[in-house]
Amino acid sequence: MNEEQLVRALYAKLFDSIINRDIPALGECLDRRFTLTTVTGKTEPAAGFLDSVREGRLSLSKAEHSDINLRIIGMNAWLIGRTTAVGSLYGTSEKTWKLVTKLSAVRTLDGWRFLDGRMNTAE
């Protein structure tokens, strides 16, 4: 796979790991410095994000990616993904969400890892 395919696969793995509550696989997607600003506006470090998935505060049962905008420069990547997901986000009832997820990634010795992200709902 080329670098673009690797980052796109990492995006898919991120959502698949949330759906399956596969915390080890989800952790493999994240750099140790990772932070996520959630749909509620709260910023969580990697450990908090993993806990949110583990404890079901962020719970998805389905995700379909409709658009992934990606730019890679050297060892850095920026991605904006549009995903239709079914689930419960931080205390909401389960429903279908149109999510816009903005992520930055860094190429490490172990491959690409997400460094930070912002998850919002689309209008």
Number of domains, the chain: 1
How many residues can be counted in the chain? 123
User: How buried is 55 (Cβ within 10 angstroms: 0-12 exposed, 13-18 middle, 19+ buried)?
Assistant: exposed
**pLDDT band with cut points at 50, 70 and 90 for residue 91:** confident
pLDDT value of position 84: 95
Q: Does the pLDDT value for residue 52 go beyond 70?
A: yes
How many whole angstroms separate alpha carbon 20 and alpha carbon 92?
19
> 119: how many CB neighbours lie within 10 A of its CB?
22
> Which residues are paired to 114 by β-bridges?
30, 105
**Percent of the chain at pLDDT exceeding 70:** 99
Instruction: Provide the mean pLDDT of the chain.
Output: 94
**pLDDT band with cut points at 50, 70 and 90 for residue 122:** confident
For 70-86, what is the mean pLDDT?
A: 97
Q: What is the full DSSP assignment across 24-37?
A: HHHHHHEEEEEEEE
User: How buried is 31 (Cβ within 10 angstroms: 0-12 exposed, 13-18 middle, 19+ buried)?
Assistant: middle
Instruction: Please indicate whether residue 34 or residue 92 has the higher confidence score (pLDDT).
Output: 34
> Residue 31 is part of a domain; what is its CATH number?
3.10.450.50
Characterise 41 by phi-psi region: left (phi > 0), alpha (psi -120 to 50), beta (else): left
Domain that holds residue 7: 3-121
- Predicted confidence (pLDDT) per residue in 9-44, tens digit: 999 999 999 999 999 999 999 999 999 998 888 899
Q: Does the pLDDT value for residue 123 go beyond 70?
A: no
